[in-house]
Amino acid sequence: MEKNSKRVYNFNAGPAALPLTALQKAQEELLDFNGTGMSVMELSHRSKDYEAVHNRAIELLKELLAIPAGYEVLFLQGGASLQFAMVPLNFLPTGKKAGYVMTGVWSEKAYAEAEQLGEIFVAASAKEGNYRRIPAVEELKYNADAAYLHITSNNTIYGTAWQDFPDTGTVPLIADMSSDILSKPFDVSKFALIYAGAQKNLGPSGVTVVIIRRDLLEQANKKVPTMLRYGTYAKDNSLYNTPPTFSIYMIKLMLEWVKEQGGAAAIYKQNQQKAALIYDVIDDINGFYIGHAQPDARSLMNITFRLANEDLEKKFLDTAKKLGFVGLAGHRSAGGCRASVYNAVPYESCQALRELMLAFQKENA
């Protein structure tokens, strides 16, 4: 577990690790971007130099996610938390109901926000059993006239994830993909709308990516304040007002890094290998580490586990901190331990965590 630099083993749940090469590129261009004599942070969002950054980020997202024709890619602010309100404001008309699948804290928050804005219902829930699983497709209960069905693709706090997404037919499928977007290939065409805070797998905090099908966009409520309408951003290429330019620039650098790795399929293979290093220790027959998620619902992005008692967990976390590991404490609402192994977390960091877990187990079993 020797380290060759001052950089830590970063397992933060978000904002999360960024690729070292992307950070170095940003550092190199910080004072003089593209010969402008200015930082990207100083460029006008109406300038040709920034417009090229903006459009390249959109182009790369479309390429890497294989987004079909008929979709818009938007850059918004406010994180997923604002999307919890924007979705029903735009797409939950009077006289219709929307379904929410409950798989963790963030789906609960999305539900609570929508509840204030229209009629909604629980289409399925994994709350019984403390969110250790994902409901089976057969458990989903909704009518063909539902306004939409909302899911959270990956649950950062509980460490669960949808392994396959449902086909919802004519009912628009909407997903919060904040913590696993671009972690593996998936069929975008199944979804009418996808939103994702960038600060886990796409870049830094401050920008939210929205992928929206144009036919859904055309159905949006027009009697919504300008800045809360998806159409406002679609019409002006997300340049209606000043966007978070530096965050979008960092998304571009992150996406260029993903492309250099070989794209979504290569990233998925890396993510499987990284997660396996840690899950293999959790699955040891001695049961020293206790995984929270059921094996068939496990997330590749957030690995959650407990130890025999809180004192032992504290000792583990204290030991990890002294050795340069950051972000291994579980969410304050759940406790325990959590390793967030997003796209940019190096394989070597996961290998170091595995070694730490094995050594700690040997010393404390």
Domains in the chain, CATH or no CATH each = 23-260 (3.40.640.10), 263-364 (3.90.1150.10)
Residue 167 among the catalytic residues = no
CA distance 188 to 186: 6
- Arithmetic mean of pLDDT over the chain: 97
SS3 call for 310:
helix
Count of other CB atoms within 10 angstroms of residue 161: 23
How many CB atoms within 10 Å of residue 35? Answer: 7
200 counts as catalytic: yes
299-330 pLDDT, tens digit each:
999 999 999 999 999 999 999 999 999 999 99
Average pLDDT over residues 332-349: 96
Per DSSP, 166 falls in state P
> Is 176 one of the annotated active-site residues of the chain?
yes
Tell me the per-residue pLDDT of 202-229, one tens digit each, with 9 for 90 and over.
999 999 999 999 999 999 999 999 999 9
User: Which residue out of 6, 32, 109, 200 is catalytically annotated?
Assistant: 200
Is residue 4 predicted with pLDDT exceeding 80?
no
Select which of 25, 49, 97, 106 is catalytic.
106
DSSP output for 237-295:
TT-SS---HHHHHHHHHHHHHHHHHTSHHHHHHHHHHHHHHHHHHHT-TT-SSEESS-G
- The predicted pLDDT at position 1 comes to 44
Tell me which of 162, 176, 180, 257 is the catalytic residue: 176
State both tokens at 107: 């789906």
